[in-house]
Amino acid sequence: MFRHYGENLHFIGNGYMMSEKAIHVRDCFRLLWEQHIYWTRMVIEGILFDLPDLEATTTRLLRNAPDFGKIFCHFYGNQIAAEFSRLLKDHLIIAGDLVKAAKADNSQAATDAEKRWYANADDIVCFLNQINPYWSVKPMQQMWYKHLALTKEEAITLLNKNYTKSIKTFNQIENEALFMANAFSNGIIYSFSL
């Protein structure tokens, strides 16, 4: 996924220049976050509506974690990449647990899953801040919490068959995902002077 580039610079507006490598890092994170939210939506729909492709879409969604790890590996090595992949995979699995509990109308299991989901988000935020000072705790935490809240809202609107609202929520999720992609890429661009 990650390619090496020369030091060619490109204007991207308002006189700001980015190297080809920085543009590639940004584009990789944008692609991964887009895949993250689209496959998440497909898994949510698969769980809620008993779709026959649930196993396949879940497998594809879980591949998102090691795909993120490949970028992390390039900059931080195998151990850090593996730990981020594990944390992100946990994030995805817990989300599935939450949707399954909501579908079963099991409020205790849903509450438990949601607590684990937010604790996992805090773990991800702390981990990111430890490896890169440009990933500050408070902004990262706000970003992750918004991502979780919107994803939960998406699942609830789908569960309630309010498809128009679920589309509006998904539009917000997509905007937030691109914001998160930029935060991830900017942290690496600044930290590694790309």
Alpha-carbon distances of 93 from 62, 100, 188, rounded to whole Å: 8, 11, 26
pLDDT number for residue 17: 73
Over the stretch 21-51, which tens digit does the pLDDT of each residue have?
999 999 999 999 999 999 999 999 999 999 9
Asked if 60 and 40 touch (Cβ cutoff 8 Å), the reply is: no
pLDDT recorded at residue 14: 54
Q: Taking Cα atoms as reference points, which of 158, 132, 11, 133 lies closest to residue 75?
A: 132
Task: Flag whether pLDDT at 158 surpasses 60.
Answer: yes
CA distance 156 to 152: 6
Is the pLDDT at 59 greater than 50, yes or no? yes
Q: What is the average per-residue pLDDT within 62-85?
A: 98
pLDDT recorded at residue 1 = 52
Strands 9-11 and 17-19: antiparallel
Three-state SS across the chain?
A: CCCCCCCCEEECCCCCEEEHHHHHHHHHHHHHHHHHHHHHHHHHHHHHCCCCCHHHHHHHHHCHHHHHHHHHHHHHCHHHHHHHHHHHHHHHHHHHHHHHHHHCCCHHHHHHHHHHHHHHHHHHHHHHHHHCCCCCHHHHHHHHHHHHHHHHHHHHHHHCCCHHHHHHHHHHHHHHHHHHHHHHHHHHHHHCCC
Phi, psi of 62 (to 5 degrees): -65, -20
Which residue, 57, 123, 115, 65, is CA-closest to 89?
65
